[in-house]
A and B are shown apart, each in its own frame.
Chain A
């Protein structure tokens, strides 16, 4: 049932959403998941490895692929990995991580900052 979208993907030639490379990473995941389901520590290790080997751009592509394939476990897994990577990090770090640019006007950013001023304690400068 999970793979009905995959079948569709293979039938559909003209697909921009998922490149072949990504498909080879995402699809073997269910097997891997079943193996390490019980073992949380291995999961952490796998996560760390994934983060090290895979650039943020790749990670976002993986997320998009998992989203397109409607593959909930993989999507959760990748999203959690990303969330752990940006948890408690400074705004600049997150921007660099994803290669995003601020499209705020300076006044707007300050205003947003003030709204929740109390929460900006203890953030990693990283």
Chain B
């Protein structure tokens, strides 16, 4: 064997060891990537690698299969399947048969564990439509945070109809939209958006309500979607707001910052009845929040 070749082989071995494949495979969030890496290594490089490295790769492939039952995610299962296909294509006969057997055992164990896991949580598993129903009672902020609980909740919280309800509830009917147009600096955006939605509704094209909600929210910077205090014109007093509405469902409310609430207590309430959304306090406050996260709306 020439010196150059020996050097190249040593390099390959070092580089492979850099990958610390075994440790990576043990981590649930790195497992799929590690499997994919192994797949590519098998398909593209295995033949040209020294025997020592080949057997290392083979061992790691078997390890990957043995760890599969612990990795209860779909990406893990599909990554392992990919690895199995590569192993089938690239390995010599004996090693291939060993790998196939190992993979088959792993899949059986994986499925068995999944089923057991499901049954354990089975009684606590809520069907999707029930989850969506529960979320329909939540305010926007809660819907958004509930997406992070787990995948099935994420799917439920992204339901198009749910966001349609939220849109209607926050940005309301045509009357409310007109009010928004008058008070907003971004009114051109709101106009077009509104017209676009109307058009979509009349032509019955399917609307991505979650996207529409976000766009409308951007054009409406001063609105605070969290529960906050406000003055309800209908009730004639301060109320807690939910999604910019009075808890009794009245829409004509003016949000009040704590500063305004204090002033309200000191002064006559009639001073505040015409208070518009463009109060400098609340504008600055929520404006800052938006600008602090540039590019966050890149979905």
Contacts and interface: CB of A to CB of B under 8 A. Distances in A.
A119 B133 contact: no
Interface string A83-124: 110111111001100111111111101001111111111110
A6 interface: no
Contact of B150 (A57, A104, A120, A121): A104
Interface residues of A, number: 45
Instruction: Give the size range of B's interface with the partner.
Output: 35 or more
Given A63-B130, A83-B134, A103-B72, A118 B150 contact: no
B134 A102 contact: no
Nearest to B148: A91
Contacts of A79: 130, 133-134, 137
A91 B138 CA distance: 14
A82 B134 contact: yes
A32 interface: no
A105 B29 contact: yes
Contact of A64 (B126, B140, B141, B227): B126
Contact of B75 (A56, A60, A100, A105): A105
B92 interface: no
Most buried by B among A57, A61, A99, A118: A118
Interface of A: 56-57, 60-61, 63-64, 67, 75-76, 79-80, 82-84, 86-91, 94-95, 98-107, 109, 112-123
